[in-house]
Chains A and B, each alone.
Chain A
């Protein structure tokens, strides 16, 4: 089983709201130094999905990440967990794209890797929440896709995928090669062992520039965007909460009940 996992480095999406600032003049997010860089959480789950298959059936996992200023401690994490190879598309020309131009570059890199049975992506990157790159890669490579997966079982030449739906899940069968996007319902991800971390320190990523993967410079990064940002802004929260108090918690609870009935909410 040859597997490829696409992972994106982003700012910690669970940082407190106050740490997100927007520069209205440039429509960009101003990085706050307090917010650490992490792998997008669904991408960690995509890595976990591949590792589980490797545990069960063996195989090779190649991780690809596109960006600039990729912190080695962050992007090497999959290596410390058991992935075999790390490819970085690290060049300013690659960044500032949307799902379209990002998928175009990732698909070109995947073609260069050549051998793959399964490609994994996160269901959406937790920065722009776009949720499209996986499907776009599948379309470029002409592969069947299963999105929002929570369980993947490999059989001979096929995979059986549990796909999350609004009220449960579907079991879908798909021939390989295929692209699968992974959701948090997959369950807990593993932690790196000391040994794994030490081994990953010694492993150097392979770095590919646009020319290495033969992409059209006009179609990558910001230049290749199909969606244009007209405006980026922060919603205003009103914050007019009436705090109901009492002599103790029970008393406050009673007062809340009285209040809600009085104002006809309940």
Chain B
């Protein structure tokens, strides 16, 4: 296995475009490949994805493997693991990176085990150990209360990377790269799952992951009515509403706006945390925010340790007054 070379990223495609995470992986992979003085390749798999290769090259790939097959239209574990196994055996990379996404967290461990290696999920930092050329993978553990740096001796080293933890490069249309089309060679009988339906909750207004301002509510909001008030404030600030897990579990708001370790990762310019205690599992999803503002009636709440500005008091009094003042200042 000593001849493993280069970094490969698994590039996810949605609606015919590279996902934001795929671009971040290309940025991260480029840096690792440069440190190793080796090549960066991307694997694009799906149905009708052939035209993604050029985009992947513009974001940093030297080589793009394209596996285009009708059987890959929906993500199904069996099919994608088989593709990954085939391409990795052929390309023989030293490192394989995927996004910590619905697909990546399902695919990485299983593909790793099939290839007799291992994976580390949800990494927030990656570094090459200069002496051993091994990848050092930093990952939050204990819900973010601690961090572990892992490595492994088996190759390829496989990691999934948390959204927004790495930076994409500026696309460069002049960049040259090689495109290699590979046959999926799939056996339909070996694919045991069928996707019957996809249900997407369309959020109105600004998308949570892209919003510059996020107004997030916690258990202390007390019910769905309170979230209506937060929505109003978010509208005034041209932002989006998020939540901790308890309001989602209680059905006050849809599960899709949960922020945290097992929810969405956001990094807005301003994150207004209302009646949120600041548990590490929640902060895992928002600690990349540039400015955290905390409103909580408990002066000892953990959230004040992470915030830049805070008010200690009852949100029911604070939020309406805050909104009124912002509106007043906006009209000036």
Q: B-contacting residues of A (Cβ < 8 Å)?
A: 13-14, 16-17, 20, 22, 29, 98-100, 103, 123-124, 126-132, 135-136, 138-140, 144-148, 150, 160, 163-175, 178, 183-185, 187-188, 226-235, 237, 239-245, 248-254, 256-261, 265-266
Q: Are B122 and A131 in contact (CB under 8 A)?
A: yes
Q: Are B142 and A13 in contact (CB under 8 A)?
A: yes
Q: Are B118 and A253 in contact (CB under 8 A)?
A: no
* A266 touches which of B121, B237, B320 (Cβ 8 Å): B237
* B150 touches which of A127, A229, A240 (Cβ 8 Å): A229
User: What is the chain B residue whose CB lies nearest that of A244?
Assistant: B311
Given A171-B199, A265-B291, the answer on whether A237 and B120 have CB atoms closer than 8 Å is: no
B314: chain A residues within 8 A (beta carbon): 249
B72-97 contacts to A, CB under 8 A, are 77-78
Given A227-B118, A257-B325, output 18 extra A-B contacts at Cβ < 8 Å: A17-B280, A130-B121, A136-B109, A139-B109, A160-B196, A164-B255, A167-B202, A171-B196, A178-B192, A226-B118, A232-B148, A234-B147, A241-B306, A242-B308, A253-B325, A258-B329, A265-B293, A266-B326
Bound Cα distance from A147 to B105, whole angstroms? 9
Most buried by B among A140, A188, A257: A257
Bound Cα distance from A17 to B287, whole angstroms? 15
* B145 touches which of A171, A234, A256 (Cβ 8 Å): A234
Describe A's contact surface by its main secondary structure: mixed
| B36 interface residue per 8 A CB criterion | no
| B227 interface residue per 8 A CB criterion | no
A172: chain B residues within 8 A (beta carbon): 193-196
Bound Cα distance from A164 to B256, whole angstroms? 9
- Interface size of B by CB at 8 A reads 86
B122: chain A residues within 8 A (beta carbon): 129, 131
User: What is the chain A residue whose CB lies nearest that of B150?
Assistant: A227
Q: Are B310 and A243 in contact (CB under 8 A)?
A: yes
B146: chain A residues within 8 A (beta carbon): 20, 22, 29, 232-235
Question: Quick one: CB contact mask for B186-228 with A, threshold 8 Å, 1 for yes?
Answer: 0000001111111111100000000001000000000000000
B139-175 contacts to A, CB under 8 A, are 139-154
Q: Are A166 and B256 in contact (CB under 8 A)?
A: yes
Min distance, Cβ B301 to any Cβ of chain A, angstroms = 10
Given A145-B77, A185-B255, A261-B329, the answer on whether A253 and B308 have CB atoms closer than 8 Å is: no
Bound Cα distance from A163 to B325, whole angstroms? 43
Interface-side segment among B46-54, B62-70, B262-270:
B262-270
| B13 interface residue per 8 A CB criterion | no
Q: Are B121 and A132 in contact (CB under 8 A)?
A: yes
Bound Cα distance from A230 to B131, whole angstroms? 14
Q: A-contacting residues of B (Cβ < 8 Å)?
A: 77-78, 101-102, 105-106, 108-110, 113-114, 117-122, 136, 139-154, 192-202, 213, 237, 245, 248-249, 255-256, 261-262, 264, 269-270, 279-281, 291, 293-294, 299, 302, 304-314, 317-322, 324-326, 329
* Closest 5 A/B residue pairs (Cβ): A226-B118, A257-B325, A132-B109, A253-B321, A249-B317
Bound Cα distance from A99 to B113, whole angstroms? 10
Q: Are B150 and A237 in contact (CB under 8 A)?
A: no
Q: Are A167 and B201 in contact (CB under 8 A)?
A: yes
Q: Are A17 and B113 in contact (CB under 8 A)?
A: no
User: What is the chain A residue whose CB lies nearest that of B116?
Assistant: A226
* A256 touches which of B105, B151, B293 (Cβ 8 Å): B293
B152: chain A residues within 8 A (beta carbon): 226-228
Q: Are B136 and A260 in contact (CB under 8 A)?
A: no
Min distance, Cβ B249 to any Cβ of chain A, angstroms = 6
Q: Are B270 and A253 in contact (CB under 8 A)?
A: no
A253: chain B residues within 8 A (beta carbon): 311, 313, 317-322, 325
Q: Are B199 and A170 in contact (CB under 8 A)?
A: yes
Bound Cα distance from A55 to B270, whole angstroms? 47
Q: Are B149 and A229 in contact (CB under 8 A)?
A: yes
Q: Are B145 and A135 in contact (CB under 8 A)?
A: no
Q: Are B308 and A244 in contact (CB under 8 A)?
A: no
Bound Cα distance from A99 to B321, whole angstroms? 50
A140: chain B residues within 8 A (beta carbon): 113
User: What is the chain B residue whose CB lies nearest that of A98?
Assistant: B118
Q: Are A20 and B142 in contact (CB under 8 A)?
A: yes
Q: Are A145 and B142 in contact (CB under 8 A)?
A: no
Bound Cα distance from A165 to B120, whole angstroms? 20
